[in-house]
């Protein structure tokens, strides 16, 4: 690999061996930043769920390497670094650490504290080390519903939290005064500082070992190569203009009023343009996100289509992408729009971009996925010492859409939080007054298709003491869509079961706000499945036999959705199945229902003690996991 390096350098080309060493060194540095943050953070949302992103950036704020984390911060951190550069206008010194959680700069909510260290080498600014992480509490209302940014917590403008290595006690005091759990917040504060200092240390080590010109030249070469590869892959796509539309259920305030998501993608030569001009204007509820989130939607989709496995993630990969994003939409909101659930709508924007280009590149896209983090917000006081706690639960994973050659993934986190994990049941029960009654896959939740959508999950959480609970979900009514004849998957949902009640309390639009649960009550989170790919009447019988055996698909769904005929002994009658499928195809069956009716679930679905299945001797490891997940962990 040859490349011209920065102006002013004594060298005109770079060493390809050094370039490859630098490439891997950058990846290793951001991975070490991740590890240090995980091991030193105080809150489970960081050290277990991994709700954070770290990265290294050049002197202009362009992305050099991002550690795998939240895909929707693929642009947010770079734009935040650039905003800090513009704010201080060169007034930066070694030892400075910059901080902000400005939602309209980061594109997300106020819970994302973003620390940045300017990296100096021999007195010159050569780059930045940055870390964004989710703080469970930044003040503001505990109510699940907000309509402006002022009710959502502490707003920290761009500040120097450290000046020349000296911490600002006044700013720290402001932070501690505005959060409920100051000790835990400051623990995460120190963990983030450690992470960004780790990035600074490793970057400087590379400069000292291989020389500044060679390292910076290698970074330029890596970006240039990333650009060439992206352009080649775009050039191989069919030219054209592709459009698609989808809808969100509502904004949590105007209940039942659909929110349109319309996108237009143009491919011309080796460039792609994504136009988000027709995405809904910002809403009155809590689902808005800033412009950097809208840009990230386009970049996430572009990377998935052009360079999904190429590392490190860097600026060069996006030079062939043009983005049209006017201000004032739900993914380019302006103050004072509420931003608490910023992460929800962007996921459907990405899905809709894939939906638009599906006709042009059917083997490169998937059907719609559950597109929601399925979050449960819990707070209260522990009976043991009356201490206050906040728990951000859920993140239970759901179904992803099927592809042209495989079923969708089961129980996988939504697009926004790619590397985020769920909270282990043992950790939840040890730290909070909650009992995990059930955590299992949802049968039939994956959309039927030649390739089936992935399954969603169900989690039942019993309150041991009185708790306050809120949940704000979407894509409950507007279900994850199928493609090329595949059917839609189940939507997301939330419910509450009061101890002793016969029925669940349902929330048809997925918004359960300010619910008080007494001991013995339970909240239920259900994630949606993925959409199917291709006609379900084309699914091979062996796959359906396995689906039914695993419990992925019920016999009823196999019969009505896939045209299966079972013999008296329970085996599939291939001849009768072929006849039924032919009749169904002639009659235009099965019929898709992309818009869900008011969700109703069997009363005892989540609370009846499951019967232990007799486990056959010969099972795959995956099938054993399925049987295990369908038994109560507390039985």
Tell whether the model's pLDDT for residue 436 goes beyond 90: yes
Tell whether the model's pLDDT for residue 150 goes beyond 60: yes
User: What number of other Cβ atoms are within 10 A of residue 29's Cβ?
Assistant: 26
pLDDT in tens, 377-412: 999 999 989 999 999 888 899 999 999 999 999 999
pLDDT in tens, 55-84: 999 999 999 999 877 788 888 899 999 999
**Which is it for the CA torsion 366, 369, 372, 376, positive or negative?**
negative
Length of the chain: 635
Q: What is the mean pLDDT of residues 543-562?
A: 96
pLDDT in tens, 192-216: 999 999 999 999 999 999 999 999 9
Confidence of residue 620 (pLDDT cuts 50, 70, 90): low
pLDDT at 73: 85
pLDDT at 496: 96
Cα 175 to Cα 427: distance, rounded to the nearest angstrom: 27
Phi-psi group of 240: left, alpha or beta (phi > 0 → left; psi -120 to 50 → alpha; rest → beta): left
Residue 519, classed as helix, strand or coil, is coil
Buried b (16+ CB within 10 A) or exposed e, 319-357: ebbebebeeebbbbbeeebbbbbbbbbbbbbbbbbbbbb
- Closest by Cα among 33, 26, 190 to 97: 190
Mean pLDDT over the full length of the chain: 91
Cα 573 to Cα 569: distance, rounded to the nearest angstrom: 10
Q: What is the mean pLDDT of residues 327-336?
A: 97
pLDDT at 325: 98
Confidence of residue 577 (pLDDT cuts 50, 70, 90): very high
Taking a C-beta distance cutoff of 8 angstroms, is the pair 290, 72 a contact?
A: no
Confidence of residue 337 (pLDDT cuts 50, 70, 90): very high
Structure tokens at 259: 């929110």
Name residue, tokens 């009363």.
Answer: 603
pLDDT at 610: 33
The widest CA-to-CA distance across the chain, in whole angstroms, is 82
Instruction: Decide which of 449 and 625 is more confident.
Output: 449
pLDDT at 50: 87
Taking each helix axis as running N to C, give the angle between helix 212-235 and helix 182-210, from 0 to 180 degrees, rounded to the nearest 10. 100
Structure tokens at 185: 């917040």
Confidence of residue 622 (pLDDT cuts 50, 70, 90): low
Q: What is the mean pLDDT of residues 292-315?
A: 94
Q: What is the DSSP letter of 35?
A: H
Residue 241, classed as helix, strand or coil, is strand
Q: What is the mean pLDDT of residues 11-27?
A: 87
CB-based contacts of 524: which residues, under 8 Å, 6+ apart?
A: 458, 459, 460, 461, 494, 495, 496, 497, 504, 606
The CA-based angle 277-399-332, given to 5 degrees, is: 20
Tell whether the model's pLDDT for residue 13 goes beyond 80: no
Q: What is the mean pLDDT of residues 277-306?
A: 96
Q: Is 524 exposed, middle or buried (0-12, 13-18, 19+ CB in 10 A)?
A: buried
Q: What is the mean pLDDT of residues 476-481?
A: 96
Name residue, tokens 């305030």.
Answer: 253
Tell whether the model's pLDDT for residue 143 goes beyond 70: yes
pLDDT at 2: 40
> What does each C-alpha distance from 304 to 70, 292, 325, 400, 609 come to in angstroms?
14, 18, 20, 14, 42
Taking a C-beta distance cutoff of 8 angstroms, is the pair 446, 401 a contact?
A: no
pLDDT at 416: 82
pLDDT at 627: 45
Cα 41 to Cα 192: distance, rounded to the nearest angstrom: 8
pLDDT at 181: 94
pLDDT at 605: 37
pLDDT at 623: 53
Tell whether the model's pLDDT for residue 224 goes beyond 80: yes
pLDDT at 35: 95
Phi-psi group of 385: left, alpha or beta (phi > 0 → left; psi -120 to 50 → alpha; rest → beta): alpha
Tell whether the model's pLDDT for residue 571 goes beyond 50: yes
Cα 291 to Cα 83: distance, rounded to the nearest angstrom: 13
Name residue, tokens 């970049």.
Answer: 299
Confidence of residue 417 (pLDDT cuts 50, 70, 90): confident
pLDDT at 601: 40
Taking a C-beta distance cutoff of 8 angstroms, is the pair 229, 307 a contact?
A: yes
Taking a C-beta distance cutoff of 8 angstroms, is the pair 98, 84 a contact?
A: yes
Instruction: Supply φ then ψ for residue 293, to 5 degrees.
Output: -70, -40
């Amino acid at each position: 690999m040859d490349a011209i390096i920065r102006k002013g350098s004594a060298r005109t080309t770079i060493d390809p061996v050094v370039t490859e060493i630098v490439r891997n060194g950058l990846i290793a540095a951001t991975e070490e930043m991740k590890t240090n943050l995980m091991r030193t953070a105080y809150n489970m949302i960081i050290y277990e769920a991994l709700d954070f992103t770290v990265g290294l950036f050049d002197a202009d704020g362009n992305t050099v390497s991002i550690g795998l984390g939240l895909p929707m911060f693929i642009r947010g951190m770079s734009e935040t670094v650039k905003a800090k550069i513009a704010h201080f206008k060169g007034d930066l010194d070694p030892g400075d650490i910059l901080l902000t959680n400005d939602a309209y700069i980061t594109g997300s909510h106020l819970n994302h504290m973003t620390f940045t260290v300017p990296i100096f080498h021999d007195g010159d600014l050569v780059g930045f080390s940055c870390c964004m992480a989710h703080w469970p509490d930044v003040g503001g209302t505990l109510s699940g519903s907000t309509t402006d940014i002022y009710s959502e917590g502490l707003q920290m403008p761009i500040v120097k939290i450290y000046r020349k290595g000296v911490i600002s006690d006044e700013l720290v005091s402001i932070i501690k005064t505005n959060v409920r759990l100051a000790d835990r917040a400051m623990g995460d504060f120190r963990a983030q500082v450690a992470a960004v200092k780790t990035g600074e240390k490793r970057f400087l080590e590379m400069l000292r070992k291989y020389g500044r010109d060679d390292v910076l030249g290698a970074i330029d070469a890596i970006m240039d190569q990333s650009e060439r590869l992206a352009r080649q892959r775009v050039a191989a796509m069919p030219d054209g203009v592709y459009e698609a539309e989808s809808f969100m259920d509502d904004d949590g305030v105007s209940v039942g009023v659909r929110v349109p998501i319309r996108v237009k993608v143009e491919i011309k030569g080796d460039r792609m343009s994504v136009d988000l001009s027709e995405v809904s204007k910002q809403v009155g509820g809590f689902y808005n996100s800033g412009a950097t989130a809208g840009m990230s939607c386009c970049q996430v989709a572009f990377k998935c289509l052009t360079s999904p496995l190429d590392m490190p993630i860097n600026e060069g990969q996006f030079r062939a992408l043009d983005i049209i994003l006017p201000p004032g939409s739900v993914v380019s909101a302006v103050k004072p729009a509420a931003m608490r659930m910023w992460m929800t709508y962007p996921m459907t924007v990405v899905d809709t971009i894939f939906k638009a280009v599906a006709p042009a590149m059917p083997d490169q896209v998937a059907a719609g996925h559950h597109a929601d983090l399925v979050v449960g917000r819990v707070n209260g006081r522990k009976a043991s010492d009356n201490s206050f706690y906040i728990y951000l639960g859920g993140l239970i994973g759901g179904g992803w859409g099927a592809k042209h050659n495989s079923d969708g993934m089961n129980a996988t986190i939504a697009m926004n939080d790619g590397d985020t994990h769920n909270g282990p049941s043992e950790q939840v029960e040890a730290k909070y007054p909650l009992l995990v009654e059930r955590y299992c896959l949802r049968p039939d939740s994956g959309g039927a298709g030649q390739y089936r959508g992935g399954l969603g999950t169900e989690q039942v959480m019993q309150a041991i003491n009185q708790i306050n609970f809120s949940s704000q979900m979407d894509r409950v009514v507007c279900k994850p869509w199928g493609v090329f004849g595949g059917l839609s998957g189940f939507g997301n949902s939330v419910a509450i079961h009061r101890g002793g009640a016969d029925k669940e309390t349902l929330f048809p639009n997925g918004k359960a706000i300010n619910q008080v649960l007494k001991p013995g009550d339970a909240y239920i989170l259900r994630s949606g499945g993925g959409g199917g790919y291709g006609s379900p009447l084309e699914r091979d019988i062996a796959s359906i036999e396995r689906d039914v055996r695993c419990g992925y698909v019920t016999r009823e769904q196999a019969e009505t959705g896939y045209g299966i005929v079972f013999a008296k002994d329970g085996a599939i009658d291939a001849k009768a199945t072929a006849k039924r499928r032919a009749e169904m195809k002639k009659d235009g069956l099965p019929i898709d229902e992309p818009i869900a009716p008011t969700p109703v679930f069997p009363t005892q679905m989540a609370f009846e003690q499951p019967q232990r299945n007799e486990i056959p001797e010969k099972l795959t490891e995956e099938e054993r996991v399925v049987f295990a997940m369908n038994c109560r962990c507390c039985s």
